[in-house]
Amino acid sequence: MEAVEGSSDSKIDTARSTGNAGTSVDDDDVEIVSEGEASMQNKSSEDHESPPKVDSEVEVLHGNVRKQVIKEGVVDGPLPSKFATCFVHYRAWAEKNLQKFEDTWREQGPVEVTLGKVKKTMTGLGIGMSSMKSGERALLHVDWELAYGEEGSFSFPNVPPMSNVIYEVELIGFDDAREGKARSDMTVEERIEAASRRKEDGNAYFKDEKLEGAMQQYEMAIAYMGDDFMFQLFGKYKDMALAVKNPCHLNMAACFIKLKRYEEAIGQCSIVLGEDENNVKAMFRRGKARAELGQTDPARKDFLKARKFAPEDRAILKELRLLDEHDKAVYLKQKEIYKGIFGPRPETKIKKLNWLVRLWQWIVCLVYGILRIKRQKSD
């Protein structure tokens, strides 16, 4: 297989559940790489109870839809076509009361929307998405006519009648390959093929150190392999799907580790271990993320379990050695601290008597001696 190259640091390379976690990497998974200076703008998983404040210029997309860009998308990237399948995250607020009534970032993956086939209540959102590039995040102001209408929403009581809606939207990506064909209309083979294509695109982005683009592709691939889809599979079809889905979660974990988003990396690895409890890469990367968070005992547990399946792997042995050195350093530091608190009693030094005191003692002794001699003579 064609290798997916990363940067130089500890690497882990196991095919699926077993194998060597050392040096070469195939295209099912990317390397775990050194944590560079890369960073992501505004983590998408953060909670926002009110719409973000945006200073960018207002663009009128439609008489009832206005847009402000929060984060630019792919430079010179295309816009989705009329029947493109878009993968988006969004939050929604009713403008009248500024009550948030929907937040897809709280869910497992992005929402799939096919342009040209959106629900009537999402017409304004669809108009906004059609103007966005992959990776773009924007604030949409949608008038009530293209949202929940004159009566408001029965499903979302927070949306009163004739309320405009504010959306914070991020277009993860879109697929023009099969116009108008939603995931639910695809065969098993078509969905796995679409997910595999996204995974390969993500690996290409990762090789170029474009982590944001890579994560977008992996997230879309995972969306094709949703829980509702995986639940229906068994036998060879489930194996085929997991062969695409699990590497995407592991690749997401590798990106999160580079971006120092360790909690999210742990979450991605735990998903894989839920399907494949002996996956060495998942154990290693979760251990790496836990070690970075200072969770040394859980990290050691992950590394020790990984070592059972790859006893000669140098990356695993190195991490265990680093944990041992860390524990030793902590012990020595604590010992030094406690030594200062509970150290031996200081030696008491006999103070030298003042010379006047000594003189006074000598005089007293002299007088006492003279008196005793006189008493003896008188006797």
81 Cβ contact partners less than 8 Å away, ≥ 6 residues apart: 115, 176, 179
- Cβ burial of 242 (10 Å; 0-12, 13-18, 19+) is middle
According to DSSP, the β-strands at 99-103 and 111-114 are unpaired
For the four alpha carbons of 44, 48, 88 and 173, in that order, the dihedral sign comes to negative
- The overall longest dimension of the chain from CA atoms, in Å, is 138
Q: Is the pLDDT of residue 20 over 50?
A: no
User: What pLDDT is stored for residue 329 in this prediction?
Assistant: 82
- Give this prediction's pTM: 0.63
Q: For 45, which DSSP code?
A: T
Q: Which has more confidence, 154 or 66?
A: 66
Q: Does residue 36 carry a pLDDT above 50?
A: no
Q: 346 falls in which pLDDT band (50, 70, 90)?
A: low
Each residue of 188-247: pLDDT tens digit? 898 899 889 889 999 998 998 889 889 888 988 888 887 778 888 888 989 999 999 999
pLDDT tens figures, 237-285: 899 999 999 999 999 999 999 999 999 999 999 999 998 999 999 999 9
Collapsing DSSP to helix, strand or coil, 113 comes out as: strand
> How is residue 153 annotated by DSSP?
-
Phi, psi of 232 (to 5 degrees): -85, -10
Please tell me the predicted confidence (pLDDT) of residue 343: 57
Averaged pLDDT of the chain: 80
> Over 50: is that where the pLDDT of 15 sits?
no
Whether the pLDDT of residue 4 is over 50: the answer is: no
CATH fold of 59-175: Chitinase A; domain 3 (3.10.50)
Amino acid 26: pLDDT: 38
Alpha-carbon distance of 136 to 169, in angstroms, equals 8
User: Which of 51-65, 103-117, 183-197, 288-302 has the weakest average pLDDT?
Assistant: 103-117
Domain boundaries, the chain: 59-175, 186-326
The predicted model gives 127-132 an average pLDDT of 94
Percent of the chain surpassing pLDDT 70: 80
Residue 355: count of CB within 10 angstroms of its CB: 8
Neighbour-count burial for 275-314, b at 16+ CB within 10 Å, e otherwise: eeeebbbbbbbbbbbbbeeebbeebbebbebbbebbeebe
Q: What's the 3-state SS for 250-283? A: HHHHHHHHHCCCHHHHHHHHHHHHHHCCCCHHHH
Distance, CA of 94 to CA of 28 (rounded, Å): 43
Lowest-pLDDT range, 59-68, 198-207, 340-349? 340-349
Distance CA 240, CA 293 (A): 34
Are the CB atoms for 46 and 355 separated by under 8 Å? Answer: no
Q: ∠ at Cα 16 (12, 21), nearest 5°?
A: 20
The fold for domain 186-326 equals 1.25.40
| Mean pLDDT of the region 131-140 | 92
Asked whether 112 and 179 are in contact (CB, 8 A), the reply is no
- Residue 22 contacts residue 315 (beta carbons within 8 Å): yes
